[in-house]
């Protein structure tokens, strides 16, 4: 399966990209970047740095800098650190972005690879909504869209109602759910059941001193946030769980429903079942230990 990750790296994004590099059933053919955990130029620099460390030479196409209707974005540096990688603040700027902007790149890749291509969107859905707007055939060309976002049957993480990726661009998310490609939504319903603890990072680093050690080091900041603010011992494997859902659908309990996003007011960013929108597959449960084991097994095989 050919895979593009649309991403805002970000600590759990870095874990997901490492997983995609290690998993034999996935062929990473590009990254597209978006604002969210960081500003977009930081996401792109971090994406290029990760690819360099992983020894992969695939394009990084830079995408949207702000949500639909907004001029700028305020990054989640209290969760992911000032540069997106926790306490690590000097991140080498290696290589260059692809000449084509993210939404156009996604459109072109869907035209070229059609059913074979899966896009896993693990940041705000702005680039995906832009691609849908650029090409009326984008949704039907694409094999599948797997989204890390939303909290359909459980509380949110940035408010009682909303999950961060959807909250960061609710209008773009609503546009995607009104005209979805074949879509699987992996929200907090699943990802808060895939907690990764400090001891898991230590074990990973022992087997994979370079990449596992890097992930352990940048995750200290993230684990502190989870402990002090969320009150949980371990961090959600949010973005990795979505990447795993691209190939291991049997680990997920899926329910089919249309979705709508609240775009204004107190409940902004909430993802609600809505039968008037086309159906998507929503994960309402997951075999958490199986996801954690698969993540560790593959990433531990990296140098
Ligand atoms: O709510 C979790 C999501 O928000 C993840 O994609 C994480 O990287 C943050 O962006
Ligand atoms: Ca992310």
189 Cβ closer than 6 Å to some ligand 1 atom: no
CA dist., res. 100 & res. 93, Å (int): 19
How many angstroms does the Cα of residue 91 sit away from the middle of ligand 1?
A: 20
3-state SS of 18-68? HHHHHCCCCEEEEEEECCCCCCHHHHHHHHHHHHHHHCCCCCEEECCCCCC
pLDDT average, residue stretch 136-155? 98
12 Cβ closer than 6 Å to some ligand 1 atom: yes
- pLDDT bin (cut points 50, 70, 90) of residue 13 is very high
pLDDT average, residue stretch 9-34? 98
Q: pLDDT per residue over 208-231, tens digit each?
A: 999 999 999 999 999 999 999 999
Q: Give the pLDDT confidence score for residue 1 in this predicted structure.
A: 97
Domains and CATH numbers, the chain: 2-299 (3.90.245.10)
Q: Give the pLDDT confidence score for residue 14 in this predicted structure.
A: 98
How many angstroms does the Cα of residue 273 sit away from the middle of ligand 2?
A: 23
CA dist., res. 47 & res. 53, Å (int): 10
Give the dihedral of Cα atoms 143, 149, 154, 156; nearest 10 deg: -170
Distances (CA, A) of 215 to 4, 151, 202, 300: 21, 26, 10, 11
Q: 185 near 261, Cβ under 8 Å?
A: no
238 Cβ closer than 6 Å to some ligand 1 atom: yes
Only one residue has tokens 């053919």, namely: 29
Q: Which two tokens stand for residue 279?
A: 């159906």
pLDDT average, residue stretch 7-30? 98
**Catalytic residue flag (residue 78):** no
How many angstroms does the Cα of residue 122 sit away from the middle of ligand 1?
A: 7
pLDDT average, residue stretch 157-181? 98
- Beta strand spans in the chain (E): 2-7, 27-33, 60-62, 117-121, 144-148, 183-186, 195-196, 235-236, 252-257, 259-261, 271-273, 280-286
Which candidate, 82, 10, 77, places its Cα nearest to that of 47? Answer: 10
Q: Which is catalytic among the residues 98, 167, 238, 298?
A: 238
- Best residue among 238, 242, 270 to mutate for probing ligand 1's pocket (most ligand atoms within 8 Å of CB) is 238
CA dist., res. 6 & res. 1, Å (int): 16
Handedness of CA 209, 215, 220, 223 (dihedral sign): negative
CA dist., res. 289 & res. 49, Å (int): 30
Q: pLDDT per residue over 185-208, tens digit each?
A: 999 999 999 999 999 999 999 999
């Amino acid at each position: 399966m050919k895979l593009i990750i649309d991403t805002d790296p970000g600590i759990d994004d870095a874990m997901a990209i490492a997983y995609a590099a290690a998993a034999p059933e996935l062929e990473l053919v590009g990254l597209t970047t978006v604002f969210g955990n960081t500003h977009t130029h930081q996401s792109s620099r971090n994406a290029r740095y990760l690819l360099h460390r992983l020894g992969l030479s695939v394009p990084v196409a830079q995408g949207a800098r702000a949500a639909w209707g907004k001029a700028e974005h305020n990054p989640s540096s209290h969760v992911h650190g000032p540069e997106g990688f926790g306490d690590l603040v000097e991140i080498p700027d290696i290589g260059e972005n692809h000449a084509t902007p993210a939404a156009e790149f996604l459109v072109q890749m869907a035209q070229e690879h059609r059913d074979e291509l899966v896009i896993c969107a693990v940041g705000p859905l702005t680039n995906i909504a832009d691609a849908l707007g650029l090409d009326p055939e984008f949704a039907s060309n694409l094999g599948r869209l797997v989204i890390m976002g939303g909290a359909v049957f459980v509380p949110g993480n940035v408010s009682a109602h909303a999950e961060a990726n959807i909250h960061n661009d609710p209008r773009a998310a609503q546009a995607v759910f009104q005209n979805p490609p074949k879509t699987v939504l992996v929200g907090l319903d699943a990802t808060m059941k895939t907690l990764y603890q400090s001891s898991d990072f230590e074990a990973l680093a022992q087997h994979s001193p370079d990449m596992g050690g890097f992930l352990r080091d940048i995750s200290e900041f993230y684990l502190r946030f989870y402990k002090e603010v969320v009150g949980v011992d371990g961090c959600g494997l949010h973005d990795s769980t979505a990447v795993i859902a691209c190939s291991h659908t049997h680990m997920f309990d899926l329910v089919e429903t249309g979705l709508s996003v609240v775009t204004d007011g107190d409940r902004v960013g909430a993802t609600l079942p809505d039968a008037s929108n086309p159906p998507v597959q929503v994960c309402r449960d997951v075999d958490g230990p199986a996801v954690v084991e698969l993540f560790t097994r593959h990433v531990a095989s990296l140098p």
